[in-house]
Amino acid sequence: MATAAKRPKQVAVGGSPAEDGSADALSGFLDWCETVGLELSPKVYVSKEGTVSDYGLLAREDLQIGEVLFTIPRAVLLSQHTTSIRSLLEKDQASLESQSGWVPLLLALLHEYTASNSHWRPYFSLWPDFSSMDHPMFWPEEERMRLLQGTGILEAVDKDLANIQLEYTSIILPFMESHLDLFDPKLHTPELYQRLVAFVMAYRRWFWRSHFSVPSEVARRPLAVTDPSFQEPLDEEDEDEKEPNPPMMVPMADILNHVANHNANLEYSLECLKMVTTQPIGKGQEIFNTYGQMANWQLLHMYGFAEPYPGNTDDTADIQMVTVRRAALQGASTEAERQLVSEQWDFLCQLEMVGEEGAFVIGWEEVLTEEELSMTLKVLCMAAEEFKEFKEHEGWEEDTEDEESFTLSNETIPRLKASWKKLLHDSALLTLQSYSSDLKAEQDLLNDKVAYGKLSRREQQALQVRYGQKRILHQLLELAS
């Protein structure tokens, strides 16, 4: 491994020290890494040049699959268990419980970020004021409404902002006021707190229990959307509870940017964490981690960026569950039929297949919530007699259905019953109507490089989110027609 003395410092920042002081900050951070035993392979370097966004990791030479790029001792991680105020957090544990579960880490960050003698000072120096973070939660409301309508981000941000305010006033502030030797509410303001929430969102991982990053409509997603790179894997016995270990910051691992087609992955062991290549990487190429299988709307909501079309193979579009009910009601022509749809919906709620705030998640190749969606289509398409019988058996059928009838993929959707396809088609159509612009207009804008280049960064990111979602919904329209 390279030592600080051997490392050519200007190369570490791409050969051109930046004027903003980031070269010094990076140099200080790399020296600190060395002091704390974080080993960086000489085959890679951190730079702001040649990356998709600010800092990133690049290959100094060709890399094979399975190469260890760096090793992080566990003592380097910043969490509620490693911060210098850990005993205080532990003592006051009961009063720090919150719906998000983020409060202890955020208090640790508020303290470490502003303490001049913090062990993690060189780490924080990389982001002097978090000014580059541009999550939609920082956009003016008017801009959010104009650019993100229909994407699911508006609702997620509204929940985040409400929860940030609630947790700050009801937990953080009282805690700080009873520890004025450590905290100063004039310095540890709600604005700083919000920046740190965004920092945790973007530089850590998905946190399953969180209301900050798990809006209700995604709470039904399969666990595949959790972030394997920044989420400490669960102990085997915890797995059923689906609640991960507390969040933590992982210096150096969080330097890596994300793409769906990533080429490295974070591996966990008892003593340390290792970033390991998962694809061959050529000299000079950027090394990408995965933050999980993230749709563009999740990337924009939690990380402040979207992958340009067609890069994000993990992109998805949501169809609100209530939209399928609306489509079914729309197709009912008599009062009796409308009554039947209402009863069928209530039954689906009892089966916990649908909920007022839930969404069906549609991917490029398949429906990610196929059990819920196929049961919904099935029940909402039943005639009164059939439904009565089905209900009497509490949703169980004696003759096992053809397995395929529960698979909802690009291959199987065209073969579904006509009534199912119609309901799916109408639901996709209603969802498309919730956006303020149509696919064609956005396609033209994306194809027109000059016009696209004139858009603000926010407009470009929002356009990528909307376009991907609409393409997926249009594909569904075709499959179900």
Q: Find the shortest distance in angstroms from Cβ 153 to ligand SAM.
A: 14
Round to whole Å and give the CA distance between 44 and 58.
6
| Three-state DSSP string of the chain | CCCCCCCCHHHHCCCCCCCCCHHHHHHHHHHHHHHCCCEECCCEEEECCCCCCCCEEEECCCECCCCEEEEEEHHHCEECCCCCCHHHHHHCHHHHCCCCCCHHHHHHHHHHHHCCCCCCHHHHCCCCCCCCCCCHHHCCHHHHHHHHCCCCHHHHHHHHHHHHHHHHHHHHHHHHHCCCCCCCCCCCCHHHHHHHHHHHHHHCCCCCCCCCCCCHHHCCCCHHHCCCCCCCCCCHHHHHHCCCCCCEECCCHHHCEECCCCCEEEEECCCEEEEEECCCECCCCEEEECCCCCCHHHHHHHHCCCCCCCCCCCCEEEEEHHHHHHHHHHHCCCHHHHHHHHHHHHHHHHCCCCCCCCEEEEECCEECCHHHHHHHHHHHCCCHHHHHHHHHCCCCCCCCCCHHHHCCECCCHHHCCHHHHHHHHHHHHHHHHCCCCCHHHHHHHHHCHHHHHHCCHHHHHHHHHHHHHHHHHHHHHHHCC
In the set 102, 203, 207, 360, which binds ligand SAM (CB under 6 A)?
A: 203
Rule CB under 6 A: is residue 173 a binding residue for ligand SAM? Answer: no
Single out the segment in contact with ligand SAM by CB under 6 A; choices: 5-13, 51-59, 84-92, 104-112: 51-59
Rule CB under 6 A: is residue 47 a binding residue for ligand SAM? Answer: no
Nearest CB to ligand SAM, comparing residues 289 and 374: 289
Q: Find the shortest distance in angstroms from Cβ 307 to ligand SAM.
A: 6
**Judged by CB under 6 A, how many residues of this single chain contact ligand SAM?**
16
∠ CA 176-181-187, rounded to 5°: 55
Q: Find the shortest distance in angstroms from Cβ 110 to ligand SAM.
A: 19
Single out the segment in contact with ligand SAM by CB under 6 A; choices: 94-102, 254-262, 376-384, 401-409: 254-262
Round to whole Å and give the CA distance between 228 and 230.
6
Rule CB under 6 A: is residue 354 a binding residue for ligand SAM? Answer: no
What would the two tokens of residue 322 be?
A: 């209530």
Q: Find the shortest distance in angstroms from Cβ 418 to ligand SAM.
A: 42
Nearest CB to ligand SAM, comparing residues 53 and 436: 53
Rule CB under 6 A: is residue 124 a binding residue for ligand SAM? Answer: no
Identify residues 283-322 at the interface with ligand SAM (CB under 6 A): 303-305, 307
Single out the segment in contact with ligand SAM by CB under 6 A; choices: 13-21, 139-147, 241-249, 250-258: 250-258
In the set 18, 259, 430, 439, which binds ligand SAM (CB under 6 A)?
A: 259
Rule CB under 6 A: is residue 468 a binding residue for ligand SAM? Answer: no
Nearest CB to ligand SAM, comparing residues 53 and 93: 53
Nearest CB to ligand SAM, comparing residues 46 and 424: 46
Residue nearest to ligand SAM (CB): 54
Q: Find the shortest distance in angstroms from Cβ 461 to ligand SAM.
A: 9
Rule CB under 6 A: is residue 55 a binding residue for ligand SAM? Answer: yes
Q: Find the shortest distance in angstroms from Cβ 276 to ligand SAM.
A: 17
What would the two tokens of residue 345 be?
A: 């919906």
Rule CB under 6 A: is residue 255 a binding residue for ligand SAM? Answer: yes
Q: Find the shortest distance in angstroms from Cβ 247 to ligand SAM.
A: 13
In the set 188, 258, 378, 425, which binds ligand SAM (CB under 6 A)?
A: 258
Single out the segment in contact with ligand SAM by CB under 6 A; choices: 10-18, 82-90, 256-264, 464-472: 256-264
Rule CB under 6 A: is residue 462 a binding residue for ligand SAM? Answer: no
Rule CB under 6 A: is residue 52 a binding residue for ligand SAM? Answer: yes
Single out the segment in contact with ligand SAM by CB under 6 A; choices: 257-265, 314-322, 341-349, 398-406: 257-265
Round to whole Å and give the CA distance between 48 and 384.
63
Q: What is the CA radius of gyration of the chain?
A: 25
Rule CB under 6 A: is residue 123 a binding residue for ligand SAM? Answer: no
In the set 16, 53, 189, 433, which binds ligand SAM (CB under 6 A)?
A: 53
- The contact set with ligand SAM (CB under 6 A) reads 52-56, 202-203, 254-255, 257-259, 303-305, 307
